[in-house]
Structure 1
Amino acid sequence: MDLINNVTGVDEEGRSRQRILSFAAKRYASAIERNPEDYDALYNWALVLQESADNVGPDSISPSKDALLEEACKKYDEATRICPTLHDAFYNWAIAISDRAKMRGRTKEAEELWKQATKNYERAVQLNWNSPQALNNWGLALQELSAIVSVREKQTIVQTAINKFRAAIQLQFDFHRAIYNLGTVLYGLAEDTLRTGRQFDAKEISPNELYSQSAIYIAAAHALKSNYSVYRSALRLVRSMLPLPYLKVGYLTAPPTGNPVAPHNDWKRSQFVLNHECLQQVSRGEPKQSTQSPSAMLASTTHIEKPLIKVDILDITSISACADLTLPPGAGLCIDTIRGPLYMVADTWESMDGWLDAIRLVYTIFARGKSDVLAGVITG
């Protein structure tokens, strides 16, 4: 209570808000005196401390923001000890720890705090898996942690962060913050790969492809929230990394047109392009192996035939990964349309994830009435 009572607020609105918080804190303190096992009172008291920390001025020494957050963490700890299934407490506890870590820069102490935060986000997601915000924050905490740990640990942590952002998007397809964050972590991974000069084998994603993937997510975030200046600035940086005038270019193995149950030998690996309107096949047959970027490969195609497969975005009803054993070897992809399902196979599961996300994002942008914004990005 002494900590909360000494918070004055930086302006009149803050002072008014702090008076309300102080009154609430007294009620929760009284509830704990009556019943020390009242985990709801402990949880709400922690929230009051956390909100009070936001009211502390940047130059305040007594109480400090860190002292309030530390006390909030103690209350969250007590509440979750009494009620181990209190997922909201683990989530807000992780936020408080993250705020403490941010004050400590890239130090060993900050590293330990970020590790604690990731553990609490993990516990929050275990108790409430249907929380895209918790998954997104978990990814952000991992991203911060990756900037502090050794190079040997970094790659694993970054890959885990990518998985968390992707999981958040799969729960909420229009979650623009997670979409943008995924783009930034992929961009950072591409930069790190080039900076270290590490050789990568054919099974790994090249820096050029990572840049291209990064640009897809940032372009999608911008299309969903074009008034966000940070998305607009990031898009200016990465737009040239897209295979313009398309959003995505790559290879998929598909059956002959009109014969989805054709023998595996009749399925052909060919080039596909995705824009704001459709996914379509642009070349026939097996391409030669190339180290070129997707946009360069598209430009070098010598003979563009009439599209054999074309899926209009407005015809799609759902899209999902598919592990059907009747498909050729590889990572299966099923696009359900109003005309029936279309099955295709990507070279790897990582490639399939990229196609799955890209098509879902284009469909989500279409469903939100933002296709014209995406069209402006890729066609200029």
Structure 2
Amino acid sequence: MEAASADGDLLLRELALAANQYSSLEDASEGTSGQDFEVLYNHGLVLQELAGKVPAGSPEQLQLLKQACELYGSAAAARPSSAPVLYNWGVALADMGRLLKDSQPEEAMSCLQQASQRYAASLDLQPGSPQALNNWGLVLQEMSLLAGSAAEREVLVGYALEKFRHAVRLRPDFERGAYNLGTVLYAHAATLQADLASQLKAGRLTSGDAATSRERNAREARLRALFGAAAQYITLAAALQPGKDIYRRSLAVVRPLLPLPFLRAGYLTAPAAATLGGPCETWRREWFVLDGDSLRSASALESSLAGAAAGGLTGSAPTLRIGHAVGQVPLEVPLESLLGVRRVCDPSLPEGEAIWLSLSRPLSASGAAQRPHVAALAGGQHDPTGASAAPPCCCVWLVADDADSADAWADALLLAHHVVASRGADTLAEALLPLGGGGGAGGSRRSGSSGGAVLGPDR
């Protein structure tokens, strides 16, 4: 402990010395044609790092961050094309917002709004930075906590989720984005659950008329979907980084919310396997399950397992779950055969929100007789999103009921494939094991209740 304290004191002295040296260089350059960009930027970095070493929440910490922001502003004026300056300026502003959120919420919101603008400008100059997208998402989520209305909060949370999704779709190995996507979904679901409980306690939404029952059931169904999606992303983050303590502890909280032994379960409209790729495909809305092996139309047993594990909130209406019929060949997509997953818009498909899967091999012999637009892809054309890529051997289109469900399915497939390809199917299977009877088909569960646990962000 004494050695660690001595090392910390030495680092503080070194940072303070560096800050003084940069300040002297800035003083020496006054009156010249312009201040040196590198001096301004590095001085800001030193002050920002120094702010992280002083007592949290102290006036000194806030003052150091303000000074760092001023230096980043001068550096950005000297070199407007520097994405790192804008990024670190956003980090400092976000840190200021967190320090002020309890004592000065209006000032905190202003800092967070400015941080959001800096991250946006940084990404304009350097598109495709997962960490910038992740930080931007966290800032938007923190802004939602200071929002003045439920509608504004909903919009800001939606924007935050977009940033995290963009990050993980750019980099499926970016476990931090997957984890934060899960924690933001979880926190939002918990807020909506508290709102619903408050209304029920006040006697609202308790009437037995059809309209009130539909509204209550719809809100409860949305809560189940949000909590299930949150659990999915946190599970995938834990599978990507099994050794990270915060992921393991968060997984213990959300594991009972999964449709164990599966990562995800729900309805998808898909072509019947026997007609896949043929001239007259037959589309069916069926119950699908996803685990470490494949995405597949569920058997009767799998439907019952997923249904028992992912039971509804108290008072919710039961849902009929139908997979493939007995004797019918199920549609099954092995995770190892996935080449890509994208959300697409194709008006020729059944009504809903479409997902496009590119595969390394046909799913069946009938896959050789592909549809015209699949044959075009095999001939070397672009994929439906316009991106140029090596032609896959086969493609499958799936249709979800709504956009949120389609996004969750697409991300689950993309990230689960990456986990299996990089770490093996056993890693994901281990994350999906019920612990102590607390989840899965055989255990008791509470929809959305975490027993007071708080899932913190991973910055």
TM-score, length of structure 2 as denominator length:
0.72
Paired position in structure 2 for 1:208: 224
- Look up the equivalent residue of 1:65 and give its one-letter code: Q
Aligned-partner Cα distance in 2 for 1:205–1:32: 63
Spell out, residue by residue over 1:118-158, the C-alpha distance to the aligned partner (whole angstroms, 9 max, x if none): 12112212222211101100111111111122233211111
Following superposition, the deviation at residue 41 of structure 1 comes to 3.3
- 1:327 and 2:343 correspond: no
The one-letter amino acid of 1:188's match is A
**Contact 2:29/2:35 (8 A) holds in 1:** no
Change (3 A) 1:254 1:88: same
Is 1:334–1:342's contact at 8 Å kept on the other side of the alignment? yes
Report what 1:346 is aligned to. 400
Task: Give the whole-Å Cα distance in 2 for the aligned partners of 1:51 and 1:90.
Answer: 16
The equivalent of 1:367 in structure 2 is 421
Using CA pairs below 8 Å that are at least 6 residues apart, which structure has the higher relative contact order?
A: 2
8 Å CA contact retained: 1:9, 1:55: no
Distance 1:293 1:160 in 2: 33
Contact 2:286 2:324 in 1 (8 A): no
Classify the secondary structure of the residue corresponding to 1:271. strand
Query: Could you tell me whether the CA contact under 8 Å between 1:9 and 1:18 is conserved in 2?
Result: no
Residues 135 and 168 of structure 1 are in contact (CA less than 8 Å); yes or no, is this contact kept in structure 2? yes
Q: Does 1:53 align with 2:51?
A: yes
Q: Which moved more, 1:108-117 or 1:257-266?
A: 257-266
Q: 1:154 and 1:178 mapped to 2: Cα distance?
A: 20
Q: Tell me, in whole angstroms, the C-alpha distance in 1 between the residues paired with 2:321 and 2:269.
A: 20
Aligned to 2:298: 282
Report if the CA contact (8 A) 1:32-1:42 is conserved: no
Whether contact under 8 Å (2:18, 2:46) holds in the other structure is no
Flag the 1:179–1:89 CA change in 2: closer, same or farther, 3 A: same
Match of 2:89 among 67, 75, 93: 93
Q: Is the contact made by 2:299 and 2:323 (CA closer than 8 Å) also made in structure 1?
A: no
Give the letter for the 2:123 counterpart.
V
Q: What is the CA distance between 1:98 and its match in structure 2?
A: 1.4
Kindly indicate whether the alpha-carbon contact (under 8 Å) linking 2:100 and 2:108 is maintained by their aligned counterparts in 1: yes
Q: Give the 3 Å change call, closer, same or farther, for CA 228–73 of structure 1 in structure 2.
A: same
The structure-2 alpha-carbon separation of the partners of 1:79 and 1:17, relative to structure 1 and needing over 3 Å to count, comes to: closer
Identity among equivalent positions (%) equals: 33
What amino acid is aligned across from residue 83 of structure 1 in structure 2?
Answer: R
Alpha-carbon distance in structure 2 between the residues aligned to 1:87 and 1:59:
28
1:257 equivalent in alignment to 2:273: yes
Matched residue type, 2:193? L
Residue of structure 1 equivalent to 2:175 = 176
Q: Is contact 2:258-2:310 (8 Å) kept?
A: yes
Matching residue of 2:431: 377
Tell me how many residue pairs correspond in the alignment: 365
1:207 Cα deviation after fit: 0.3
In 2, the alpha carbon distance for the partners of 1:100 and 1:129 equals 25
The 1:302–1:370 alpha-carbon spacing in structure 2 relative to 1, beyond 3 Å, is: closer
Distance 1:303 1:71, change over 3 A: closer
The aligned counterpart of 2:133 is 135
**Are the aligned partners of 2:297 and 2:323 in contact in 1 as well (CA < 8 Å)?**
no
SS in 1 for 2:159: helix
Deviations 1:314-345 (A, max 9, x none): 11111112323332232222211121211221
1:239 aligned to 2:293?
no
Unaligned runs of 5+ in 1: 1-7
1:21: Cα distance to partner? 4.6
Question: CA distance change for structure 1 residues 67 and 215 in 2, over 3 Å: closer, same or farther?
Answer: same
**Structure 1 residues 228 and 370, CA gap change in structure 2 (3 angstroms):** farther
In the aligned structure 1, how far is the partner of 2:33 from the partner of 2:8? 34
Q: CA deviation at 1:364?
A: 1.0
Which amino acid is the alignment partner of residue 179 of structure 1?
A
Task: Quote how far apart the aligned CAs of 1:307 are.
Answer: 5.0
What's the secondary structure of 2:342's corresponding residue?
A: strand
1:5 maps to what in 2?
A: none
What SS does the corresponding residue of 2:275 show, helix, strand or coil?
A: coil
* Secondary structure of residue in 2 paired with 1:244: coil
Instruction: State the one-letter code of the partner of 1:169.
Output: V
Match of 2:75 among 42, 61, 79: 79
Q: Give the equivalent residue in structure 2 for 1:103.
A: 99
User: Are residues 335 and 59 of structure 1, via their aligned partners in 2, closer, same or farther at CA, if it must alter by over 3 Å?
Assistant: closer
User: Residue type of the partner of 1:266?
Assistant: T
User: Is 1:295 paired with 2:317?
Assistant: no
Q: Would the aligned equivalents of 1:283 and 1:307 in 2 still touch at CA under 8 Å?
A: no
- With the length of structure 1 as denominator, give the TM-score of the two structures: 0.86
Distance (whole Å) between structure 1 residues aligned to residue 350 and residue 320 of structure 2: 28
1:270 aligns with 2:270: no
For residues 174 and 59 of structure 1, do their structure 2 counterparts lie closer, same or farther at Cα, with a shift above 3 Å needed? closer
Which residue of structure 1 aligns with residue 39 of structure 2? Answer: 41
Distance apart, 1:58 and its partner CA: 5.3
Cα contact 2:288–2:298 (8 A) shared by 1: yes
Unaligned runs of 5+ in 2: 1-5, 200-214, 312-317, 362-393, 435-459
Q: Higher mean Cα deviation, 241-250 or 142-151?
A: 142-151
Q: Which residue identity lines up with residue 253 of structure 1 in the other structure?
A: T
